[in-house]
């Protein structure tokens, strides 16, 4: 079928559900991909422009540029001041915001369905017509530096960045999304404006929308807001893929901090998001530390009372990933906590996991996925990230089928492979240097 109007382009129906939800995709002239999910029975709509640029695309001299730019685009456009942008979204009770990750940036709005035209106009305005005024750049420089300072005052946030540096080293994925005080202080408008013009192109973008809307309405509003930008023969940029060239190493990074707790994160490199074992990795992560019945929670907190918080998590990039474990405890208990974590890891690598554990993980992942789609913002994020990161759409049922196909044997095999890899760790707490960290932490790394 075709969508009428300026620059008509063939439209594909990706899914129709029994509940009446319809997912459609169109590539507009210039290479902009538009993907929508019509959700009957709701009164809201969410729209987002996803840009395939993040902190990994920065050179060291402009570290933090993607995040800095995300802030600055809201500071005024050709048609609106920063105050007017805020007033217009507040006047309809909506939300207008953005976030930057290591491989993408997203600008989004969540509004009542009747306010979708305003949401489209605002999001397109800030993404494509921002002024990047020198005066606003100076004002926002101070805001970003405050955000870096706030990160440094939050042990868990600081720990995550330290862990990425320990595991990924000098690779761009190992750098913090926020950049550094030095890089933000030194960044010029010329450098940031050049980054904006080079990276924010139609072929590298996806416009995603979900809620009480139709695909035709979204195309009409996009054409109205973008006008002559929708021209040319640009083709969508393929989803990132490849293999990151990161030397394997075991490293401990320590950030001395006068905290009441010691915070530890340790982990290993894991499959990238294109690896079909990502479904197995998701189950492994859930069994290991994804909930109250997980091995880490039961052993570290419930049986021994060593920590209030302990969990595992997965990060998946286009060409690598990592599986990590976090715990925070009293400094004099860090050694015991590290020892128990090591025992849990050794046990899974040696003996695998049980069918009961895998069945619980299947149910937990199913509930998390389905319950997470109760609002239109989550649905918009799901289809937008799928198009940008994979270039393909999987229905909820297809995703659930892949999760439920994971067997205990597959989980055990992946656990054995991953947990034999070099371990990196980061610690934030009252330790002057690495030698002050309990020996058990070093033993996990040097196992």
DSSP character for 436?
G
**How open is the CA angle 98-101-103, to the nearest 5 degrees?**
120
Catalytic positions: 70
Question: Token match 């393909």: residue?
Answer: 392
Nearest to 264 by CA among 434, 429, 65, 76: 429
How far is the C-alpha of 121 from the C-alpha of 220, rounded, in Å? 12
Nearest to 348 by CA among 329, 361, 335: 361
Strands (E), 21-145: 22-27, 33-38, 44-51, 95-100, 105-112
Nearest to 314 by CA among 257, 260, 363, 361: 361
- As a 3-state breakdown, the chain gives helix, strand, coil percent values, each rounded to 5, of 50, 20, 30
Strand order in the sheet with 11-16: 11-16, 22-27, 33-38, 205-211, 44-51, 105-112, 95-100
The per-residue DSSP string of 415-426 comes to HHHHTTSPPEEE
Nearest to 284 by CA among 370, 340, 361: 361
Distance set, CA 331 to CA 67, 194, 255, 326 (Å) = 34, 46, 14, 14
Q: What is the bridge-based pairing of β-strands 252-256 and 105-112?
A: unpaired
CA atoms within 13 A on the CB side of 123: 33
Q: Torsions phi, psi of 282, nearest 5?
A: -60, -40
Distance set, CA 238 to CA 161, 206, 324, 388 (Å) = 28, 12, 29, 8
How far is the C-alpha of 98 from the C-alpha of 444, rounded, in Å? 38
Nearest to 65 by CA among 73, 123, 149: 73
């Amino acid at each position: 079928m075709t969508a009428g109007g300026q620059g008509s382009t063939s439209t594909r129906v990706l899914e129709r559900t029994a509940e009446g939800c319809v997912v459609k995709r169109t590539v507009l002239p210039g290479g902009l991909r538009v993907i929508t999910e019509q959700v009957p029975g709701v009164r809201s709509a969410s729209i987002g422009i996803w840009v395939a640029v993040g902190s990994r695309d920065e050179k060291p001299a402009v570290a933090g540029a993607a995040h800095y730019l995300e802030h600055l685009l809201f500071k005024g456009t050709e048609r609106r001041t920063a105050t007017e942008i805020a007033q217009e979204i507040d006047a309809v009770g909506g939300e207008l915001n953005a976030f930057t990750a290591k491989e993408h940036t997203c600008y989004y709005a969540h509004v009542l369905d009747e306010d979708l035209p305003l949401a489209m106009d605002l999001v397109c305005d800030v993404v494509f017509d921002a002024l990047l005024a020198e005066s606003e750049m100076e004002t926002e420089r101070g805001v970003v530096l405050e955000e870096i300072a706030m990160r440094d005052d939050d042990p868990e946030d600081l720990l995550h960045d330290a862990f990425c540096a320990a595991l990924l080293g000098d690779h761009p994925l190992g750098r913090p999304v926020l950049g550094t005080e030095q890089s933000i202080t030194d960044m010029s408008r010329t450098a940031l404006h050049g980054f904006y013009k080079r990276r924010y192109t139609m072929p590298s973008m996806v416009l995603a929308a979900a809620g009480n809307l139709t695909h035709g309405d979204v195309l009409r509003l996009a054409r109205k807001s973008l006008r002559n930008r929708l021209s040319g023969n640009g083709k969508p940029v393929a989803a990132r893929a490849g293999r990151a060239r990161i030397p394997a190493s075991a490293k401990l990074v320590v950030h001395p901090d006068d905290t009441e707790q010691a915070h530890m994160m340790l982990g290993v490199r894991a499959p990238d998001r294109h690896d079909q074992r990502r479904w197995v990795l998701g189950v492994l992560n859930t069994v290991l530390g994804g909930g109250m019945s997980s091995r880490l929670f039961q052993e570290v907190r419930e049986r021994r009372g060593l920590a209030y918080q302990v969990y595992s998590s997965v990060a998946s990039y286009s060409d690598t990933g990592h599986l990590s474990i976090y715990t925070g405890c009293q400094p004099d208990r860090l050694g015991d906590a590290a020892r128990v974590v090591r025992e849990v890891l050794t046990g899974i690598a040696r003996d695998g996991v049980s069918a009961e554990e895998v069945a619980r993980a299947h149910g937990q992942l199913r509930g998390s996925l389905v319950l997470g789609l109760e609002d239109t913002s989550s649905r918009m994020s799901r289809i937008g990230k799928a198009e940008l990161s994979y270039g393909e759409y999987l229905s909820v049922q297809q995703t659930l089928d892949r999760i439920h196909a994971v067997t205990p044997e597959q989980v055990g095999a992946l656990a054995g492979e991953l947990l034999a890899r070099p371990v990196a760790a980061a610690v934030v707490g009252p330790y002057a240097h690495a030698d002050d960290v309990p020996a058990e932490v070093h033993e996990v790394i040097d196992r």
